[in-house]
Amino acid sequence: MRRLHNFRKKRKAVQQKKAFFKGLLLEQQMQTSENNVEQTKLFDLKELEKATNHFSMDRILGQGGQGTVYKGMLEDGKIVAIKKSKIIDEAKLSQFINEVVILTQINHRNVVKLLGCCLETDLPLLVYEFIPNGTLSEFIHQRNMEFPFTWSMRLRIATEVAGALSYLHSGASFPIYHRDVKSTNILLDEKLRAKVADFGTSRTISLEQTHLTTLVYGTFGYLDPEYFQLSQFTDKSDVYSFGVILVELLTGQKVISATRTEEGKSLATYFKMTMKENSLFDILDGQVLKDAPKKEIIVVADLAQRCLHLSGRNRPTMKEVAKELEWIQVIDNKDSKGSQHDYVKLAYAQPEIADSWNNSTSSIELTFDSAATSFSLHQELSLL
């Protein structure tokens, strides 16, 4: 009888916990226009324990400030990634609820897909599609001579990430600010396609809102200086963080490095100093120098610099960034050298891009020698 009593007591506690968490999810979901939380699959704890060999150490895919991610195989053979939070507190619970609510509103090929969750633990578990090739940060900073990280791959990944962030800002039901854009939060699938991940601190806003006033949160090196000063996060704060990723892709360097000069420990600052000194090609990654047409490097570097403008209003939107990268990728695919006509079209034919170039901190003078069909860019770059 005692064993039966304990079993019933335990089952009741699990049911109450499920009802509590589901109630919180639905309460937050009512604030949005979508109703997808109710459709989120609920996984059984025993199934997830079996899938991960009871959350064995050898199943760990990665660890961060918010928790640990495990690789698991479900009973039907499907490989998944399961996020388990480290600490049980109100902030972690809020982040869990927030991530579920946001990811149930997103349907984009370059955003990691949430498959469901488990509500039987003290803090619920999140179950995602498994992305096999690690993070973009690992790809940039951990060399693999047998599988070089080519310029075309870098350009495509940058375009995919920009497209996903553009979707979040202007294509979703409500604008979504990611708030922690960094190369460790970009996963690469079996075809090395980018998947933006980790939406625990992301926020939806109303169409009328222009910013969020919050406690400063983010990762040093990617953090928008304007947000740090004013505690006001805007869509342009995500743009700044994306600009840092562009510089990582160009240079292959760490976002924070003690080996650089004191004033250049931050990669963003170091990059802008280098651009001001007109010595960009001295800091580029060797693979980029080997693969990329110089014209494309200069155009992408200028785009990165505009993303890193200290004033958010002078940065391009993610929609503009995505369009510009798409155009550069078209040129790269069409002809690895490109033509002067292509680059003039890139700079001036698209109104959004032309406007952002005109508002840039750098003025770009394009000169052509028609006889030699040569193309050069002279940059006068000012560091703010």
- Residues 70, 145 within the same domain: no
Domain boundary among 102, 129, 156: 129
Domain count, the chain: 2
| CATH number, domain containing residue 29 | 3.30.200.20
Q: In whole angstroms, what is the distance from residue 186 CA to residue 111 CA?
A: 9
Q: In whole angstroms, what is the distance from residue 280 CA to residue 277 CA?
A: 8
Task: Using alpha carbons only, give the angle 50, 51, 52 rounded to the nearest 5 degrees.
Answer: 90
* Residue 27 φ/ψ, nearest 5 degrees: -65, -45
Domain boundary among 129, 148, 179: 129
- Residue 355 is predicted with a pLDDT of 46
Q: In whole angstroms, what is the distance from residue 339 CA to residue 40 CA?
A: 49
- Residues 118, 144 within the same domain: no
Domain of 29 in residue numbering reads as: 2-129
- Residues 246, 162 within the same domain: yes
| CATH number, domain containing residue 230 | 1.10.510.10
- Residues 94, 226 within the same domain: no
Per-residue pLDDT of the chain (384 residues; tens, 9 = 90+): 655 545 455 555 555 555 555 555 544 554 454 555 555 788 989 999 999 999 999 999 988 666 789 999 999 999 999 998 776 666 666 677 777 878 888 889 999 999 988 877 777 788 999 999 999 999 999 877 778 899 999 999 999 999 999 999 998 878 899 999 999 999 999 999 999 998 888 888 765 565 666 777 778 999 999 999 988 899 999 999 999 999 999 999 999 988 887 677 899 999 999 999 999 999 999 999 999 999 999 999 999 999 999 999 999 999 999 999 999 998 877 765 555 555 555 554 444 444 443 444 343 333 323 323 333 333 333 322
- Residues 122, 141 within the same domain: no
Residue 30's SS3 state is: coil
- Residues 97, 193 within the same domain: no
Query: pLDDT (tens digit, 9 = 90+) per residue, 193-252?
Result: 999 998 888 888 765 565 666 777 778 999 999 999 988 899 999 999 999 999 999 999
Among residues 113, 218, 239, the alpha carbon closest in space to that of 169 is found at 239
Q: In whole angstroms, what is the distance from residue 266 CA to residue 254 CA?
A: 9
Residue 58 a catalytic site member: no
- Residues 114, 207 within the same domain: no
Helices (H) then strands (E): counts for the chain: 13, 14
- Residues 163, 227 within the same domain: yes
- Residues 122, 144 within the same domain: no
- Residues 153, 43 within the same domain: no
- Residues 295, 172 within the same domain: yes
- Residues 377, 253 within the same domain: yes
DSSP-derived secondary structure for 128-167: EE--TT-BHHHHHHS--TTS---HHHHHHHHHHHHHHHHH
**What pTM did the predictor assign?**
0.79
**Which of 44, 58, 76, 180 does the annotation list as catalytic?**
180
The DSSP H or E segment spanning 116 is: strand 114-118
Q: In whole angstroms, what is the distance from residue 367 CA to residue 375 CA?
A: 6
Domain boundary among 111, 129, 147: 129
- Residue 20 is predicted with a pLDDT of 53
